[in-house]
């Protein structure tokens, strides 16, 4: 089932059931079942099974099971079980589709935010 991500009330991105990532309808990358994230075919990093986020081989952040979203150890946001996405306490957007209470869904949403949004400082 697809995860749709809204930003500021408007449709922004989608993670299809097969892991393809689309922004504005265009295919820009993929999230593989092993956690690898590809941007236009090239390996960009990973979101590992425990939520650690690696970019270019370096650990840069983490998505926690409770939804806490960290960059270099500092809490920068949250992916709530309801799907609401917060950045520095303010509502940034929303993930719709499968329940965000599922850690696998949170990891997919985090991958899109880290590797494709540019707004969370990664």
For residue 122, the model assigns a pLDDT of 84
Is residue 122 in some structural domain?
A: no
Is residue 34 in some structural domain?
A: yes
For residue 121, the model assigns a pLDDT of 86
Which contiguous run of DSSP H or E holds residue 42?
strand 42-47
For residue 39, the model assigns a pLDDT of 96
Determine the structural domain holding residue 95 and report its residue range: 3-117
- The total domain count for the chain is 1
* Nearest Cα to Cα of residue 81 among 62, 66, 97, 63: 66
pLDDT by position in tens, the chain (length 122): 899 999 988 999 999 999 999 999 999 999 999 999 999 999 999 999 999 999 989 999 999 999 999 999 999 999 999 999 999 999 999 999 999 999 999 999 999 999 999 999 88
């Amino acid at each position: 089932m697809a995860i749709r991500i809204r930003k500021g009330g408007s449709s922004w991105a989608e993670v299809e059931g097969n892991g393809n990532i689309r922004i504005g309808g265009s295919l820009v990358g993929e999230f593989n079942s092993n956690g690898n994230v590809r941007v236009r075919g090239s390996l960009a990093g990973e979101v590992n099974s425990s939520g650690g986020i690696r970019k270019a081989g370096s650990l840069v952040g983490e998505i926690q099971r409770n939804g806490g979203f960290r960059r270099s150890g500092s809490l920068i946001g949250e992916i709530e079980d309801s799907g609401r996405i917060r950045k520095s306490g303010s509502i940034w957007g929303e993930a719709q589709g499968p329940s965000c209470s599922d850690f696998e869904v949170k990891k997919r949403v985090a991958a899109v935010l880290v590797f494709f949004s540019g707004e969370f400082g990664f």
